[in-house]
């Protein structure tokens, strides 16, 4: 998640120059061995032959990617057609993550703007209030969401008792439930970068626009939003990327019709029925999509800074 800014920082001194290899060695070894190397091995596994009890046979094969993109009939002897099942699952995931992102933006932008325009001493407290739920176990938050939304749950009970609806809304197991779950999971990620951008925004620009007879909402649309655009894009990426590969929200809040990439990948590694090379290939495709997105974003923000 666009961690460059958070983990960067400029060089402050050269005090520990001679020790730097020694200081960095533990990080290199740990992350190289447990993060980078596994990704490389996953890439290799995606080109291997599947073994039927789960696992792989060390024999080169394009089978996994072929199965992902092409349909060659039941016996594999028909001319290849495009296989839409998995592309469809990816497409649905993009759509679900996109809907959750838009929902987060609609709620997150006004919230971030409001917090950034509070007196300085209050801001930290507001930000703290928004971030607390992020630190609560994602599984517990998702289960709580299900508890709240289910047909016999407090939301439907409440709405029925005040007579707004006559029967439960039936939200659980729909696309909407998954979108709400994703939205709920990552909403703080939308608020924080937009807040940081609005806090740096120079309100004299709003004054100037208003002095030149710009109506109030035009100031927001034509001046404020373009000025804080990098924050908005960062927020959208921070919500969209984890939503895309999420597993818990679709698994707990959704049903068979809301199958997403995360569940597709998870299924390949569960028990003996799985297909490891296919799971590795699907993971590679997801990773590639995310890295392209992050690269476009990084290039864009570098361009805006220049």
Partner 1 sequence: MAKPYDLRRYPGFFAITLLCLVILYAPLVVVAVYSFNDSPSITIWEGFSLRWYVDVFTGPESGKFKDAAWNSFIIAITAATTATIIATLAATAVLRAGKFRLRTVSIGLISLPLMVPEIVTAVATLIFFNAIAFERGVMTILLAHIAFCIPFAYMPISARMQGIEATYEQAAMDLYATKRQAFRRILLPLMMPGIVSGFILAFIISLDDFIITNFVKGAGVETLPTAIFGAVKQGIKPNIMAISTLLLAVSIVMVALSWFIGRRDPAEER
Residues 164-193 that bind partner 1 (CB under 8 A): 184, 187-188, 191
Of residues 238, 226, 7, 216, the one with CA closest to residue 108: 238
CB of 3 to partner 1, least distance (A): 3
Q: Which is nearer to partner 1, 39 or 78 (CB)?
A: 39
CB of 148 to partner 1, least distance (A): 5
Q: Which is nearer to partner 1, 82 or 212 (CB)?
A: 212
Q: Per rule CB under 8 A, is residue 163 in the interface with partner 1? A: no
Residue 27 token pair: 């990080």
To which H or E segment does residue 216 belong? helix 216-219
C-alpha 184: how far from its chain's center?
12
Segment 124 to 153, residues that bind partner 1, using CB under 8 A? 124, 126, 128-133, 135-141, 143-148, 152-153
| Look-up of token digits 């001194």 | 13
231 and 193 Cβ atoms separated by less than 8 Å? yes
Q: Per rule CB under 8 A, is residue 196 in the interface with partner 1? A: no
Rg of the chain on CA atoms, in Å = 24
Q: Which is nearer to partner 1, 79 or 161 (CB)?
A: 161
Q: Taking the CB of residue 214, how many other CB atoms lie within 10 A of it?
A: 16
CB of 44 to partner 1, least distance (A): 8
CB of 159 to partner 1, least distance (A): 13
| Look-up of token digits 């990327």 | 241
* CA–CA distance, 107 with 26 (Å, rounded to integer): 42
CB of 78 to partner 1, least distance (A): 30
Q: Per rule CB under 8 A, is residue 234 in the interface with partner 1? A: no
Using the contact rule CB under 8 A, the part of the chain among 29-37, 162-170, 171-179, 226-234 near partner 1 is: 29-37
Q: Write the CB contacts of 219 (distance below 8 Å, at least 6 apart in sequence).
A: 206, 209, 210
Binding residues for partner 1, total number by CB under 8 A: 102
231 and 196 Cβ atoms separated by less than 8 Å? yes
CB of 262 to partner 1, least distance (A): 5
Could you say which of 67, 96, 101, 111 contacts partner 1 (CB under 8 A)? 111
Residue 152 token pair: 């016999």
Q: Per rule CB under 8 A, is residue 9 in the interface with partner 1? A: yes
Q: Per rule CB under 8 A, is residue 117 in the interface with partner 1? A: yes
Q: Give, as one character, the DSSP assignment of residue 79.
A: P
Q: Which residues pair with 70 in a beta bridge?
A: 82
* CA–CA distance, 3 with 1 (Å, rounded to integer): 5
Segment 45 to 104, residues that bind partner 1, using CB under 8 A? 45, 55
Q: Per rule CB under 8 A, is residue 120 in the interface with partner 1? A: no
Could you say which of 27, 74, 212, 256 contacts partner 1 (CB under 8 A)? 27
């Amino acid at each position: 998640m666009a961690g460059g800014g958070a983990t960067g920082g400029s060089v402050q001194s050269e005090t520990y120059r001679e020790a730097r290899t020694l200081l960095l060695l533990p990080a290199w070894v740990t992350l190289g061995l447990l993060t980078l190397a596994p990704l490389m091995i996953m890439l290799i596994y995606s080109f291997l032959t599947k073994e039927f009890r789960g696992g792989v046979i060390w024999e080169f094969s394009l089978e996994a990617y072929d199965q992902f993109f092409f349909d060659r009939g039941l016996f594999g002897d028909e001319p290849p057609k495009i296989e839409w099942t998995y592309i469809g699952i990816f497409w649905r995931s993009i759509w679900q993550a996109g809907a959750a992102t838009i929902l987060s933006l609609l709620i997150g932008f006004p919230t971030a703007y409001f917090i950034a325009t509070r007196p300085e001493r209050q801001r930290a407290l507001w930000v703290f209030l928004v971030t607390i739920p992020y630190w609560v176990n994602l599984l517990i938050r998702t289960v709580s969401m299900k508890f709240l939304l289910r047909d016999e749950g407090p939301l439907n009970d409440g709405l029925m008792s005040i007579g707004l609806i006559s029967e439960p809304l039936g939200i659980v197991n729909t696309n909407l439930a998954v979108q709400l779950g994703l939205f709920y999971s990552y909403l703080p990620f939308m608020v924080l970068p937009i807040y940081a951008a609005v806090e740096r925004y120079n309100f004299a620009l709003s004054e100037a626009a208003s002095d030149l007879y710009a109506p109030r909402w035009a100031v927001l649309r034509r001046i404020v939003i373009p000025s804080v655009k990098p924050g908005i894009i960062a927020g959208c990426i921070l919500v969209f990327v984890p939503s895309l590969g999420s597993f818990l929200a679709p698994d707990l809040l959704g049903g068979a019709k809301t199958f997403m990439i995360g569940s597709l990948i998870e299924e390949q590694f569960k028990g003996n029925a799985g297909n490891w090379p296919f799971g590795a290939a699907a993971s590679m495709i997801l990773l590639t999509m995310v890295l392209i997105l992050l690269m476009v974003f990084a290039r864009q923000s570098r361009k805006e800074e220049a």
